[in-house]
Structure 1
Amino acid sequence: MNENQEFKHFIRIIGRGQRAGRTLTQQEAFDAMTMVIEERVTPEQKGAFLMLLRVREETPEELAGFTQAFRQHTIAGLDSLHVDLDMGCYAGKRRQLPWFLLAVLVLAQQGKRIFLHGTNEPDSKRLYLNEVMPHLGFSVATSTQMVAEQLATLGFSYMELEQVNPQLDKIIQLRAQFGLRSCANTLARILNPSKANFSLQGVFHRQVDEKHRLTAALLEDPNMLCFRGEGGEIEFNPERDVALHICRNTEHKVINVEAFNESRMTKPRQLIASELIEFWEGKENTYAHDAVIGTLSIMLVLMEDLDWSEALNQAKALWSMRNKVWSATSLQKTVENPLFDTTGKHYAH
């Protein structure tokens, strides 16, 4: 049987309909995605496979098998950098600035090493980290050596998925042709390419957080926390109750957190990167404060295994004692044009 005939078998399994079809086992999912990654399928087979999964939605077993396949094709060296926390930043922002970056900076000042990765998704009309970082005086890492240097000097580093796992990024970029996202967006969040002991994941849709938790158990990942973040990003939304889905060595736990604010604040019309620096240096911003404190609390729940009240108190203390000198010393402050207009049309993640 040639490879095209072999892959046709996987398409038949998931595409024969509700009665005759079935989902893939974890091993089948691994085998099928390995063939996709290694380009041992036709473009037509690849598109059919991804869109059938998109319509039916993937099971935790399938996501686990797919993730295992992509983990074998991650750039060499990232897993030897002794990263504490891995964060996949794939949703982008459309209502608020990426305030979660300031929670990252607080942890970095405490000696933690954080690796962030993400990409720009076609047609989503959102603000992504690679667009924000230069305006904050930080460079996007382009090599494992650069990641190592930034971890040593800053305590954190951000790299594009195109560098981290090119084959996975190629599938995300297919949205430009399909008009729909695929399972690749989920897999990128789960990937943990640095093999950090702790993985923090944010999602947008209901029940996807629980699916991430079940997938982490199948992968036997040591410490994973997934929650429905602001706009789907790894950022606490102070205006909404949230459930924190935690998996530690296959053991599951859920912590329910109430919203900080009962009423919704008016979103800014424009997102200006310099406001992140101004808030860090002491300018008051109620929404930003609650978003940062909430996000930092979630990180502490994951990394220190604290209950919510303990994590919240510790987050407030760490924020108040932060070094307010902006760590990007080469930044030249100038009058900045807005990066993003929040009043335009944007798409759900």
Structure 2
Amino acid sequence: MPEIMSDTPTDFKHFIRIIGRGQRAGRTLTMQEAEQAMSMVINGQATAEQKGAFLMLLRVREETAEELAGFSQAFRTCSLASVADLSVDLDMGCYAGKRRHLPWFLLAVMLLAKNGKRIFLHGTHEPDSKRLYLKEVLPQIGFKVAQHPEQVQVALDTFGFAYMDLKQINPQLDDIIQLREQFGLRSCANTLARMLNPSHAAHCLQGIFHRKIDEKHRETAALLNDANVLCFRGEGGEVEFNPLRDVTLHVSRNGQQSSEDVTATCETFITKPQELDAKQLISVWTGEFDDIYANHAVVGTLSLMLVLVDKLDWTEAYQQAEQMWQGRDKKWPVVLPEDKSEVVPFDTTGKHYAH
């Protein structure tokens, strides 16, 4: 754990003063200061009022790459150590949830796993966001949400991928995400969860929503000297390729940064469905239902994974992803449990909050 400046919680006001004095007198935190400040938050050395003020001041001003790197270092020391012992090729933080389309990226995950890669997924359920989260979808299509690393290991060995909730992996970070219920706003915790890579995988795929944040993710990964990180503006902020929109892929490999522009792959006008039924993931995989948008989303997301993991250029990755999708074993890999309770489809209408 990083060295703490003082044992008294009131000294945390030092960091609030630095970022809260205004444009002229205030300044941003150095990477070391950011790590010290967040370590104090984690260790309970800041009062609830101080923590709230600190997070919301950062929210209004927006965090720098140096601050995010320092915060990440602090939280990475808190992740469940046994998760890092798992053998994983690709780490994916699934924190945005979906509101317009089903999580088609899950089919890309399954396909990559069937081709020999091991993928660890993690996420949470953010209060008041009114979105469909992966941990709600998985049980509906026959997969379990792992409650501890032993179940993760079984799922990885059986299916090649596993999902575990942030609450079990890093409860301190999840607690801050859940503060949205009190703040009415997200904090930097949502960003830090995407950067966490608790499995210590050699590759980390990160999806975001807002413009320019992808560049900040890349810069932060470089400061942390993370091995292989790809960040992009995903559909709804999730780790899913949006085939209807041009996108820039931001990559950092051991401190070396690069970017690549990719054009939209689907020219067909798509009307968002009014309801999302998780069972449709199965029917698209088995070929019982042909969905143009889903096909493009799966192939595009798989292409991103191949660019990151196999270091392919986009054109080669996309050709290979198309071949993998067309040549997949269309049998659904699990037997669906007999569940007599009726699952209400997710309503895509109404107000939802961005990430």
Matches within 5 A, 1:296-335: 296-332=302-338
* Amino acid paired to 1:276: L
* Residue 64 (structure 1) shift: 0.3
Partner of 2:211: 206
* Residue 348 (structure 1) shift: 1.1
Percent sequence identity over aligned pairs: 64
Partner of 2:3: none
State the distance in 2 between where 1:335 and 1:284 align.
Answer: 27
State the distance in 2 between where 1:248 and 1:311 align.
Answer: 18
> Contact between 2:243 and 2:296, CA under 8 Å: does it hold in 1?
yes
* Alignment pair present for 1:196 and 2:196: no
The correspondence for 1:281, drawn from 277, 286, 295, is: 286
Matches within 5 A, 1:4-43: 4-43=9-48
For normalisation by structure 1, the TM-score amounts to 0.98
* Residue 333 (structure 1) shift: 8.3
State the distance in 1 between where 2:331 and 2:136 align.
Answer: 22
SS at match of 1:268: coil
Deviation track 1:189-213 (CA, whole Å, cap 9, x = no partner) reads 0000000000000000000000000
State the distance in 1 between where 2:23 and 2:195 align.
Answer: 28
State the distance in 2 between where 1:68 and 1:163 align.
Answer: 19
* Residue 325 (structure 1) shift: 1.1
The correspondence for 2:233, drawn from 218, 228, 240, is: 228
* Residue 338 (structure 1) shift: 4.0
Partner of 1:115: 120
Partner of 1:149: 154
State the distance in 2 between where 1:337 and 1:24 align.
Answer: 47
Deviation track 1:142-176 (CA, whole Å, cap 9, x = no partner) reads 00111111101110000111011000000000000
Deviation track 1:264-289 (CA, whole Å, cap 9, x = no partner) reads 31001100011000000012110000
Partner of 1:180: 185
State the distance in 1 between where 2:34 and 2:241 align.
Answer: 32
* Bigger mean CA deviation after superposition, 37-46 or 209-218: 37-46
* Residue 339 (structure 1) shift: 2.7
For normalisation by structure 2, the TM-score amounts to 0.96
* Residue 249 (structure 1) shift: 0.7
SS at match of 1:77: helix
* Amino acid paired to 1:59: T
Unaligned segments of structure 1, at least 5 residues? none
SS at match of 1:158: strand
> Contact between 2:10 and 2:46, CA under 8 Å: does it hold in 1?
no
SS at match of 2:185: coil
* Alignment pair present for 1:343 and 2:349: yes
State the distance in 1 between where 2:267 and 2:333 align.
Answer: 34
The correspondence for 1:159, drawn from 148, 161, 164, is: 164
Aligned residue pairs total 349
SS at match of 2:81: coil
Partner of 2:77: 72
> Contact between 1:270 and 1:338, CA under 8 Å: does it hold in 2?
no
> Contact between 2:245 and 2:264, CA under 8 Å: does it hold in 1?
yes
State the distance in 2 between where 1:302 and 1:130 align.
Answer: 25
> Contact between 2:141 and 2:336, CA under 8 Å: does it hold in 1?
no
* Alignment pair present for 1:45 and 2:46: no
* Residue 40 (structure 1) shift: 1.2
* Residue 345 (structure 1) shift: 1.2
State the distance in 1 between where 2:175 and 2:284 align.
Answer: 36
The correspondence for 2:88, drawn from 66, 80, 83, is: 83
State the distance in 1 between where 2:257 and 2:343 align.
Answer: 45
* Amino acid paired to 1:298: L
* Residue 6 (structure 1) shift: 2.0
> Contact between 1:115 and 1:194, CA under 8 Å: does it hold in 2?
yes
* Amino acid paired to 1:121: E
State the distance in 1 between where 2:268 and 2:300 align.
Answer: 17
* Residue 41 (structure 1) shift: 1.1
State the distance in 2 between where 1:261 and 1:311 align.
Answer: 17
> Contact between 1:271 and 1:338, CA under 8 Å: does it hold in 2?
no
State the distance in 1 between where 2:7 and 2:143 align.
Answer: 49
Partner of 1:63: 68
Deviation track 1:275-312 (CA, whole Å, cap 9, x = no partner) reads 00000001211000000000000100000111111000
Go from structure 1 to structure 2 and tell me whether the alpha carbon gap of 1:337 and 1:52 turns closer, same or farther (over 3 Å shift): same
Backbone CA RMSD of aligned residues: 1.3
> Contact between 1:272 and 1:336, CA under 8 Å: does it hold in 2?
no
